[in-house]
Structure 1
Amino acid sequence: MNLQSKIDYSITLLRKSERMALELDPENGFYLAFSGGKDSQALYHIAKLAGVKFKAHMNLTSIDPPEVIRFVKRNYPDVELIKPKMSIYYMALKKHLLPTRTIRWCCAEFKETSGAGKVTLIGIRKQESTRRSKREEIEISSHKFSGNFDQWSEHKEQMVTCVKGKDKILVSPIINWTERDVWEFLNKVVKVPHCKLYDEGYKRIGCILCPMSNYRQKIRDMQRFPHVKRKWIQTIQKLIDAGYLNRNFTNAEFGFNWWISDKSFDQYYAEEVLQGKIDFSE
């Protein structure tokens, strides 16, 4: 399927879904989750092309790249910036736990709760990962439904009544787009600028030192945003002092280096021992 066909399909999906968005939120329609990255830009502009009613929101985490925030404020002034009630560092202290790949409480606390009780537009794509390749164009956040619009239509009345409290209907208009499709759409179809971090080597734009980033990305983040590294080391030290990180953490710097390593603690610790970086005489 070429890009124009995908654009047409995305627009059709949005227009078909708008009715249920207006049923749940007549004033704003869709709740569009925006991040300032290329995929959320494509999502925003395909919704514009579809002519559907939506309100875009960007949930900040306190470790957002300042370049991204400036880009959004300058180019998408209608996007509502939602500040967190507490920083991610304080949240880690409150939970007595660092966010990791397997325990991503950061997303749950700062992003996933927004849009509850509404139809939320998200910019995920199947091509991004094995996990996302299993996602569908329409889902309910509580996993009560996952499928395409035609399948949704068969159970719509029953499903909409389930969307209460923390539940939300997730619609992914660009789920079948490739990265190439996204860039072609932004550069040649809607012709809009993108955040400069992409031109400086960043493949994805998200939180600084995101647990889901690869090690190379984290190294780049540490070099560009050293203050975030310092804050995490301070946070880790507080967790150690409070007795919440006691798995042979020799110091906060050691704990931080393990945290960004993408390795299990046992594997990282063993490698440090073999390389003579841990002195048992201390």
Structure 2
Amino acid sequence: MNLQDKIEYSIALLRKCEQMALDMDPENGFRLAFSGGKDSQALYHIAKMAGVKFKAHMNLTSVDPPEVIRFVKRNYPDVELIKPKMSIYDMAKKKHVLPTKRIRWCCAEYKESSGAGKVILIGIRKQESIKRSKRNEFETGRKGKATFSGTFDQWSEHTETMVACVGGKDQILISPIINWTEREVWEFLNGKDISHCKLYDEGYNRIGCILCPMASFRTKVRDIQRFPYVKRKWIKVIQWLIDHGYAPEKITESGAEFGFNWWLSGKGFDQYYADEVLQQKIEFNV
């Protein structure tokens, strides 16, 4: 399937699902999850081409690159920017743990918690990771835990009343560009002369949260150089954890600067807290 075929398929999928979105939210239709990155841009413009009704939202985390926020405000003024009720730094204090690859409470708190009872459009792609390669274009569930995963047609065939089966806290996730490649995303955007965030031109392959636990070590180092204030704030959080008795003994003995570097590398830190969560049976919504 070439890019044009994929574009047509994505548009057809959106049009087939639109009535369900309107039934669940007559005023806004689809809820489009926007991040300012290339994939969410492709999703946004495909929805425009499909002519479906949608409202785009961008959930801020307090560690968003300022360049991304400025880009969105300038190029997508219709996107609603949703500020967090609590900064990620204060949330780490509340949970007594920093976000890690295995304990990704940050995504649960800031990205996956909104949109209950709505049909949400997301810009994930199978090519991005092994985990996402197992995702499908149509999923239902709660807080990211799918109860159905497949195509829209498969779901509608065995569901008599499509909307009635979704509870008030459930979500329907639709991924129109899930089978697109990165090359095709860029081909689509460049072919339509759609500008992108300048961070892509400065060496960034992804433009998510600053010091995201899922980012490569190289990207984290670049983040520290570009956004040193974020490092300072995380070190203050680690010092708070030390002062209040929530930090691992290794960090308490070595100090907040060491703790930050240990967290940055992911080595040991992630496993330690994963073991702590299991031992103490702490619920981090992940």
* Fold shared by both chains (TM-score > 0.5): yes
Is 2:168 aligned against 1:165?
A: yes
- Which secondary structure state, in structure 1, belongs to the residue aligned with residue 265 of structure 2? coil
Matches of 1:20 and 1:31, distance apart in 2:
12
Matches of 1:56 and 1:207, distance apart in 2:
19
1:128-139 correspondence runs (5 A): 128-139=128-139
1:28-177 correspondence runs (5 A): 28-142=28-142, 143-157=146-160, 160-177=163-180
Matches of 1:115 and 1:177, distance apart in 2:
24
Matching residue of 1:213: 215
Is 2:279 aligned against 1:260?
A: no
- Which secondary structure state, in structure 1, belongs to the residue aligned with residue 262 of structure 2? helix
Matching residue of 1:8: 8
Structure 2 letter corresponding to 1:214:
S
Q: Deviations over 1:109-138 (max 9, x none)?
A: 011011110000000000000000000000
Matches of 2:55 and 2:220, distance apart in 1:
32
Matching residue of 1:241: 243
The 3 A distance-change label for structure 1 pair 162 and 252 is farther
Q: Answer whether contact 1:218 1:260 (CA < 8 A) is retained.
A: yes
Q: Which moved more, 1:237-246 or 1:155-164?
A: 155-164
State percent identity of aligned pairs. Answer: 77
- Which secondary structure state, in structure 2, belongs to the residue aligned with residue 141 of structure 1? strand
Structure 2 letter corresponding to 1:252:
A
- With normalisation by structure 2, the TM-score equals 0.91
Q: Answer whether contact 2:200 2:206 (CA < 8 A) is retained.
A: yes
Matches of 1:37 and 1:163, distance apart in 2:
30
Structure 1 letter corresponding to 2:43:
L
The 3 A distance-change label for structure 1 pair 266 and 77 is closer
Equivalent pairs counted in the alignment come to 267
Matches of 1:12 and 1:45, distance apart in 2:
14
Matches of 2:171 and 2:197, distance apart in 1:
29
Q: Answer whether contact 1:113 1:166 (CA < 8 A) is retained.
A: no
Matches of 1:184 and 1:6, distance apart in 2:
12
Q: Answer whether contact 2:23 2:163 (CA < 8 A) is retained.
A: no
Q: Answer whether contact 2:58 2:81 (CA < 8 A) is retained.
A: yes
- Which secondary structure state, in structure 1, belongs to the residue aligned with residue 250 of structure 2? coil
Structure 2 letter corresponding to 1:185:
F
CA shift, 1:28, in A, is 0.4
Q: Deviations over 1:72-96 (max 9, x none)?
A: 0000000000000011000000111
Matches of 1:267 and 1:115, distance apart in 2:
31
CA shift, 1:150, in A, is 1.4
CA shift, 1:155, in A, is 2.8
Structure 2 letter corresponding to 1:206:
G
Q: Deviations over 1:174-198 (max 9, x none)?
A: 000000000000001x221000000
Q: Deviations over 1:122-173 (max 9, x none)?
A: 0000000000000000001332110012101113345532322321100000
Q: Answer whether contact 1:123 1:175 (CA < 8 A) is retained.
A: yes
Q: Answer whether contact 1:22 1:28 (CA < 8 A) is retained.
A: yes
Matches of 1:247 and 1:102, distance apart in 2:
20
Matching residue of 1:275: none
Q: Deviations over 1:52-90 (max 9, x none)?
A: 000000000000000000000000000000000011000
Matches of 1:40 and 1:193, distance apart in 2:
13
Structure 1 letter corresponding to 2:81:
L
Structure 2 letter corresponding to 1:93:
K
Q: Answer whether contact 2:59 2:81 (CA < 8 A) is retained.
A: yes
Matches of 1:160 and 1:247, distance apart in 2:
51
Which of these two proteins has the greater Rg computed from alpha carbons? 1
1:20-35 correspondence runs (5 A): 20-35=20-35
- Which secondary structure state, in structure 2, belongs to the residue aligned with residue 57 of structure 1? strand
Q: Deviations over 1:240-281 (max 9, x none)?
A: 11111133111111111011103224999xxxxxxxxxxxxx
Q: Which has the higher contact order (CA 8 A, sep 6+)?
A: 2
Structure 2 letter corresponding to 1:139:
E
